[in-house]
Amino acid sequence: MKAVILAAGKGERMKPLTNTRSKMLLPIAGRPVLEYVLSSLRDTEIRDVTLVVGHRKEEIKNRFGDGDELGLSLSYVEQPEQKGTAHAISFTDIDETFVVLNGDVYCDAESLVGTIRKHEGEDAVATVGTYRVKSAASYGVVRVKDGRVAEIVEKPGKTSDQLINAGVYVFEPEIYDAIKETPYSERREREITTSIDNLVEEGKNILANELGSWVHVGRPWDLLAANERALKHQTPIVKGEIEPNAQVPDDVTIDEGTNVKSGTYIEGPAYIGKNCEIGPNCYIRRFTSIGNDVHIGNAVEIKNSIILDGTHAAHHSYVGDSIVGANCNFGSGTKVGNLRLDAGNVMMTLRGKLVDTGRRKLGAVLGDEVQTGINSMINPGVKMGPRSAIGPGVVLYKDLSPNRCVLVKQKGEERAWRE
């Protein structure tokens, strides 16, 4: 059996992180999002995988090559314009039963195998992987009757305890004929859910299979949830150096060339990459992932966050529930807040609209090469674009565009002193 992975999207909701990299290469516990998807296939009998690429395609090709490193055989086809999932699949041509996965979701191999087996056990044109969530407002809800798909309703608004379309499919080649007949939506996209709905209306046998575990990385806070899940399942290993009087539990990974200095206290699970300088006297809390060449220094606390390569927070800073891009530099005393004063859900702007993240604790999302001045503060839910900066003493309440700087203009009266 062969597989197709849809990896052509721009990741608009992941900005500012995707201003400078493919969404598929965003890190989760030291590995790209797409690598987890590929690994779930590796744990099945599938070895032949086609990646549908488009936006920043060369980055993906350079990172994964022919797939030999992962024990897979990878090939690539290009979707020049991103016009929906059905449109993406139409660039492939497979004449046997095949699996399709969205590149920003991954499920456990057992669930994937179960979906394949259910499809093979019955005379079905397609099988849709589903997952049960508390709120399905931003997903496609799958109505199921007797184990078969009755309808897929896109983004139905307020819902509770619903089965959603998980972006995991098994198809027969007949799906290509359905795609050809699929019209463009109001968003000018051809969606595979529309193709499937049309097959349901034609009376075709479309199965549903509920997955045991599933993670979708569509929004910045989803990246934190995926990171937490990955860290819980990592096989920890210590290759770096740990100085005396540093506290490092058994569920922490520390890669080669990293030095954990005296007085550092780490709570696991956590991940620290290569050639990092951690400490002295810093506090790394649970579910934190730190990339390569990072410096976390004296009296710095990092909690439930993802810190990308080359970032420096040398002294007296706090970062909570945040994602910090590559090569950022924090001035002494920088604080990134993660809790509103009224303890309400944190709001974040995505695609120009203010969205309720559903999280009581969520910090900031910083693009690459952000700089902060001493004693500056960033409020919960704020995003800073690549190469932006805030000066000493600034309190940032709203998003900051790339290449922009906010400074405090000092006001006061100068007078004689100690004459």
Chain segment 306-333, per-residue pLDDT in tens: 999 999 999 999 999 999 999 999 999 9
Which long-range contacts link 273-278 to residues 24+ away (Cβ below 8 Å)? 273/30, 273/309, 276/240
State yes or no: is 315 an active-site residue. Answer: yes
Q: What are the helix (H) ranges across 175-236?
A: 175-180, 192-201, 220-233
Q: Does the pLDDT value for residue 47 go beyond 80?
A: yes
Q: Return the percentage of the chain with pLDDT > 70, whole number.
A: 98
pLDDT of residue 391: 97
Asked if domains 2-218 and 235-406 share a fold, the reply is: no
Chain segment 201-240, per-residue pLDDT in tens: 999 999 999 999 898 999 999 999 999 999 999 999 999 9
pLDDT of residue 134: 81
Provide the phi-psi class of 8: left if phi over 0, else alpha when psi is between -120 and 50, else beta. alpha
Q: φ and ψ at 143, to 5 degrees? A: -85, 125
Q: Does the pLDDT value for residue 384 go beyond 70?
A: yes
Contact 323, 223 (CB under 8 A): yes
Average pLDDT of span 358-372: 97
Question: Comparing C-alpha atoms, which of 206, 223, 224 is closest to residue 170?
Answer: 206
Find tokens 């049309």 and name the residue.
198
375/329 Cα distance (integer angstroms): 13
pLDDT of residue 309: 98
Beta strands in 211-308 (DSSP E): 214-216, 241-242, 252-254, 259-260, 265-266, 270-272, 277-278, 283-284, 288-290, 295-298, 301-303, 306-307
pLDDT of residue 183: 92
Q: Does the pLDDT value for residue 156 go beyond 80?
A: no
pLDDT of residue 158: 62
Order the strands of the 383-384 sheet from edge to edge: 252-254, 270-272, 288-290, 306-307, 323-324, 365-366, 383-384
Which of these ranges, 143-157, 372-386, 393-407, has the smallest mean pLDDT?
143-157
> Which one of the listed residues 87, 312, 315, 316 is annotated catalytic?
315
Which CATH architecture does the domain made up of 2-218 adopt?
Answer: Alpha-Beta Complex (3.90)
pLDDT of residue 415: 83
pLDDT of residue 44: 87
pLDDT of residue 159: 61
Q: The domain 235-406: what is its CATH number?
A: 2.160.10.10
pTM: 0.94
Is the preceding omega at residue 156 within 30 degrees of 0, hence cis? Answer: no
Q: Return the percentage of the chain with pLDDT > 90, whole number.
A: 85
pLDDT of residue 160: 61
Contact 37, 134 (CB under 8 A): no
The distance of Cα 170 from the centroid of its chain, to the nearest Å, equals 24
Q: Does the pLDDT value for residue 410 go beyond 90?
A: no
Q: Does the pLDDT value for residue 161 go beyond 70?
A: no
Q: Report residue 45's pLDDT band, with 50, 70 and 90 as the boundaries.
A: confident
34 CB-near residues (< 8 Å, 6+ apart): 5, 7, 24, 25, 60, 63, 64, 103
Contact 76, 92 (CB under 8 A): no
* Coil, strand or helix at 126: strand
Q: Report residue 42's pLDDT band, with 50, 70 and 90 as the boundaries.
A: confident
Hey, where are the domains in the chain? 2-218, 235-406
Q: Report residue 353's pLDDT band, with 50, 70 and 90 as the boundaries.
A: very high
Q: What's the Cα-to-Cα distance from 51 to each of 10, 21, 92, 147, rounded to whole Å?
A: 15, 17, 9, 30
Greater confidence, 156 or 101? 101
Q: Does the pLDDT value for residue 341 go beyond 90?
A: yes
Chain segment 267-290, per-residue pLDDT in tens: 999 999 999 999 999 999 999 999
Mean model confidence pLDDT for the chain: 94
